[in-house]
């Protein structure tokens, strides 16, 4: 899936994703060593949702990965566990597609509203 992620965070999208997670009680652990093939993960442990982000992400990638993991937290928190991450079957593929669609929508909405804010700042003469 092709997701349109801004190349820099001038729009503050990454910051807003962190805020969104915070509001939902999701704890984010950036700069984690997750190995070579995992860029982010969502775990639900002791009733607290946690997202780990790899230390090897560019800003561009971090926006996508965090949005995708927020999708897992929102849609699949009860189902996602480490065993599932290591599985490759139809069920795995379907939840990955759902998380990708969630990420695409979330990034679109945040990009749009960031544009509106920017416009308002210009109109306000700042
Ligand atoms: Zn995923």
DSSP result, 2-37: -----SSGGG-HHHHHHHHHHHTT-EEEEEE---SS
The three-state secondary structure class of 42 is: strand
CB 27 within 8 A of CB 50: yes
**CA 100 to ligand 1 center in whole angstroms:** 7
Q: What Rg, from alpha-carbon coordinates, does the chain have?
A: 15
Domain 9-117, CATH among 1.10.472, 2.60.40, 1.10.10, 1.10.357: 1.10.10
- Does pTM surpass 0.85? no
Round to whole Å and give the CA distance between 119 and 32.
36
> For the sheet containing 27-32, what is the strand order?
27-32, 48-54, 40-45
**Cross-strand partners of 41:** 52
**CA 96 to ligand 1 center in whole angstroms:** 5
**CA 51 to ligand 1 center in whole angstroms:** 11
* Every domain of the chain and the residues it spans: 9-117
**CA 69 to ligand 1 center in whole angstroms:** 6
**CA 68 to ligand 1 center in whole angstroms:** 6
**CA 41 to ligand 1 center in whole angstroms:** 7
- pLDDT value at 10 more than 90: no
pLDDT, tens digit, for every residue of 97-111? 999 999 999 999 998
Q: What value, to the nearest 5°, has the Cα angle with vertex 71 and ends 68 and 74?
A: 155
Identify the residue with better confidence: 77 or 41. 41
């Amino acid at each position: 899936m092709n997701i349109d992620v801004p190349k820099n965070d001038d729009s503050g999208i990454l910051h807003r994703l962190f805020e969104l997670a915070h509001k939902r009680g999701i704890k984010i652990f950036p700069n984690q060593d997750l190995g070579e093939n995992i860029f982010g993960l969502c775990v639900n442990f002791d009733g607290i949702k946690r997202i780990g982000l790899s230390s090897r992400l560019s800003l561009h990638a971090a926006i996508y990965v965090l949005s995708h993991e927020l999708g897992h937290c929102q849609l699949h928190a009860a189902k996602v566990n480490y065993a599932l991450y290591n599985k490759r079957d139809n069920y795995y593929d379907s939840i990955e597609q759902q998380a990708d669609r969630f990420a695409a929508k979330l990034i679109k909405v945040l990009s749009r509203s960031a544009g509106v804010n920017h416009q308002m700042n210009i109109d306000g003469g700042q």
